[in-house]
Amino acid sequence: MAREISGTGRVTLFPLLHLWPDVYGVAAYATTGHFGVTAAVGYIPIPEVPDMSLLDVGARHTGLNADRAAHAEWVLCTAWSARTVLKPGSLDLPSAEWSLEWDARAEPKSNSGNMYGHGELYVGRFALADEVLMKQARELLPQLARQ
């Protein structure tokens, strides 16, 4: 049985280079729980793009001696930054119904176990309930990345 969390609220979607040098995917960031203490960061499934293991992407960016908490912190920093300063090609939805089929959970250890207001991170496959919004999310992927 799949493990899932869901909610309704602000969702930020952004292209993310996840396999060097040229494989992009679309990542999504939402929060849930009391005051948004739980971060949900996932990838939008796109048939032409390999699934994105976000903690693995974090591991490739944090160095050989980094632990799982550091990988989670990289993911949180990337998602929070994408929301704080929207880049061209991003989409910020003020309110959308979403779900995350999660494959991993991690906790940051920075700032006494809290980073950007989040005490826990779930990563996995992200979906928007509205099919029109899902189509818009998939269209964020630059055309060159699909070739």
DSSP state of 87: P
| Cβ-contact 96, 62 below 8 angstroms | no
pLDDT tens, 30-84? 999 988 999 999 999 998 898 999 999 999 999 878 899 999 999 999 999 999 9
Q: What is the pLDDT of residue 101?
A: 98
DSSP alpha helices (H): ranges in 1-147?
Answer: 54-62, 68-84, 110-113, 131-138
Q: What is the domain partition of the chain in residue ranges? A: 4-87+103-130
| Cβ-contact 30, 44 below 8 angstroms | no
Q: What are the distances in angstroms from CA 146 to CA 26, 91, 95?
A: 12, 19, 28
pLDDT tens, 90-142? 999 999 999 999 999 999 987 667 888 899 999 999 999 999 999 999 999 86
